[in-house]
Amino acid sequence: MASADFANLAAATTAGYKEIVTIGGDGQTYVVLEKPITGDPDGGVGGVFRAFGLGATQAAAETRAVAALNNKRVHRYGADTGQTSSGKKNGNTHTRDVT
């Protein structure tokens, strides 16, 4: 299953990601987006899928966290190119999480 990017924070939270916001002692805003995953149905390991963002404002940190989340999702699930995939040529398959 390939993934399409989340357009914004609202799309990520609608998909089940929780936002955690912290203001650091340095005045920077730290945003974590996280969601528990159970692993793939063939016995893969679950855990918590997290992405981080840092910025001078909460909006900047959220934008960076969503970009980081999209990047991590592409690495885990593959990119949604809108075309039929012929599979990876290296024999590895994409991860299929059950959440």
CB 36 within 8 A of CB 7: no
Sign of torsion over alpha carbons 42, 78, 85, 81: positive
Condensed to tens digits (0 to 9), the pLDDT of residues 56-82 reads 999 999 999 999 999 998 887 777 666
Q: Are strands 18-23 and 47-55 parallel, antiparallel or unpaired?
A: unpaired
CA distance 57 to 63: 10
What is the chain's pLDDT, residue by residue, as a tens digit (99 residues)?
557 899 999 999 999 999 999 999 999 999 999 999 887 766 677 889 999 999 999 999 999 999 999 999 888 777 766 655 555 454 555 555 554
pLDDT (0 to 100) of residue 13: 96
**What is the value of pTM for the model shown?**
0.77
pLDDT (0 to 100) of residue 2: 59
CA distance 50 to 62: 13
Ranges assigned E (strand) in the chain: 18-23, 29-37, 47-55
